[in-house]
Structure 1
Amino acid sequence: MDAVGTVAPHADLSIWALFWQADLVVKTVMIGLLAASVWCWAIIVDKSMLYARAKAEMNRFERVFWSGQSLEELYQQMSEKPSMGLGAVFVAAMKEWKRSHEQNASSFVGVQGRLDKVLDVAISRESENLEKRLGFLATVGSASPFIGLFGTVWGIMNAFTAISAASSTNLSVVAGPIAEALFATALGLLAAIPAVIAYNKLSGDANKLIGRLEGFADEFSTILSRQLEARGAR
């Protein structure tokens, strides 16, 4: 009867019980992995919504841009409201274009160089916004299994300590500590697997959007270059 009473606290192997019975170090690992997992899912949802919105806005902007509407009218419309993606790149380039003409810049090379720099900065700014916090997903994906493994090793050390203290190799003595240790590994994988999958998917989506930004910048730079040459020829 005493032996049964000794192992009774370890009979409950529910997830909640495994957490509360765990060592302080293992608990800290579990809490950290759960927090990382929740934050990863928050990033995944936020980025998925951001990329869907950015893609829709890019499609909408391209339809308007190639519809034949004058650049000046489009600039007036876009500058009145905050824009992202292609709209932000367009507004930044047009601001520099108008500033150069207001100052009666005479150097074709100088104006073209400034436009290219403005376009590069605008693309860099938009790219940074698209890729922000993706690094956290990569970090969680690579580090979480090892953090979970640390919790597992620590828990197994506690299991061996329990064996030594009980002077028994009965499974009931170590079932609880071993289950707690393996639970830490499971949490590590729970955080890592979605993070790795989401990082690969979201990175690919971000690269596609950045590629569209760069392609539009090249096309728009060519259009402005033609207008510069036309004005210079007059």
Structure 2
Amino acid sequence: MFHDISPTAIVDGTLYILLAFSVVTWTLIIFKSWQFWKNSYWNRLFNGAFWGSATLADARALPASTFKGPQARIARQGLAWLTESRQTSTKNLKFSGTPSELLEQSLFVQMQEEQHLMESGLTMLASIGSTAPFVGLFGTVLGIMHAMHDITASGSTSLDVVAGPIGDALVATAIGIAVAVPAVLAYNFFLRRVKLQRAGLENFVTSFMHAALSTDLHSKD
């Protein structure tokens, strides 16, 4: 089936695929590193401004430039829910339940959206980390098959004839492993960062709930 395809073409095709995997991996590593650094930076700034406010009304009056980052978006969602709940004069399904439960649900929905943003790209890293060695191995196996076929056709089994084609084929496996290692390490690292930042968001949601429930949810700040 593959006899009409040269071993060089097979190995080169495999290497191009692995090159694409490598480009995607390092692009994701750079982007995710910037994303997590940016989230941490804005969360620190927002925490200082938000918890430095005397009341929720003062926190709501913070400049728009302060409301950046995951925690800021969660706070904005919570403040918007508080405002809407006070302005709604009639009960409907949206406000069926206790205020604390509804506020908590609104905050956790936003937190889940933030988690999805943080997890974006991690599936690709995991997929590359798990498939790159097999792509390299696929190129190696086909390359060796062609090498053996050519060696049999030539009728020579000298080391010079055997070592060259097989050595070229094994390069694909080596590169596949080299591509997979950064992807796996990056995946594990960013997964850890997701867990840490999610824990921070959960703590913020709990603290926001305490601050909101310490006042009358149906009165103006």
Name 1:157's counterpart in structure 2.
145
1:70, CA displacement in angstroms? 3.1
Is the alpha carbon distance of 1:25 and 1:69 closer, same or farther for their aligned partners in structure 2, counting shifts above 3 Å? farther
Question: Are residues 1:185 and 2:170 paired?
Answer: no
Name 2:13's counterpart in structure 1.
28
Give the one of 134, 139, 142 matched to 2:122: 134
The answer for unaligned runs of 5 or more in structure 2 is 1-5
Inter-partner Cα distance in structure 1 for 2:19 and 2:206: 44
Question: Are residues 1:56 and 2:41 paired?
Answer: yes
Identity %: 31
Runs ≥4 in structure 1, deviation > 4 angstroms? 78-82, 104-109
Name 1:99's counterpart in structure 2.
84
Inter-partner Cα distance in structure 1 for 2:66 and 2:47: 17
State the aligned residue count: 211
Inter-partner Cα distance in structure 2 for 1:105 and 1:225: 21
The DSSP-based 3-state class of the residue aligned with 1:77 is coil
The one-letter code of the counterpart of 2:58 is: E
- Whether the aligned pair in 2 keeps the contact of 1:26 and 1:155 (CA below 8 Å) is yes
- In our comparison, the structure showing a higher alpha carbon Rg is 1
Is the alpha carbon distance of 1:82 and 1:217 closer, same or farther for their aligned partners in structure 2, counting shifts above 3 Å? closer
Question: Are residues 1:84 and 2:72 paired?
Answer: no
Residues 164-211 of structure 1, C-alpha deviations (whole Å, 9 max, x = no match): 011011122233321221110011011100011111111101110111
Name 2:60's counterpart in structure 1.
75
Inter-partner Cα distance in structure 2 for 1:184 and 1:114: 55
The DSSP-based 3-state class of the residue aligned with 2:194 is helix
TM-score by length of 2: 0.87
Question: Are residues 1:213 and 2:198 paired?
Answer: no
Task: Name the structure with the higher helix share.
Answer: 1
Inter-partner Cα distance in structure 1 for 2:20 and 2:217: 57
The one-letter code of the counterpart of 1:147 is: V
1:153, CA displacement in angstroms? 0.8
Give the one of 176, 179, 191 matched to 2:164: 176
| Worse-matched range after superposition: 99-108 or 178-187 | 99-108
Name 1:222's counterpart in structure 2.
210
Residues 93-118 of structure 1, C-alpha deviations (whole Å, 9 max, x = no match): 10011000111478895322221111
1:135, CA displacement in angstroms? 0.8
Give the one of 7, 10, 22 matched to 1:37: 22
The DSSP-based 3-state class of the residue aligned with 2:62 is helix
Inter-partner Cα distance in structure 2 for 1:97 and 1:229: 7
Inter-partner Cα distance in structure 1 for 2:210 and 2:78: 12
Aligned alpha-carbon RMSD (Å): 2.2
1:62, CA displacement in angstroms? 1.1
| Worse-matched range after superposition: 182-191 or 62-71 | 62-71
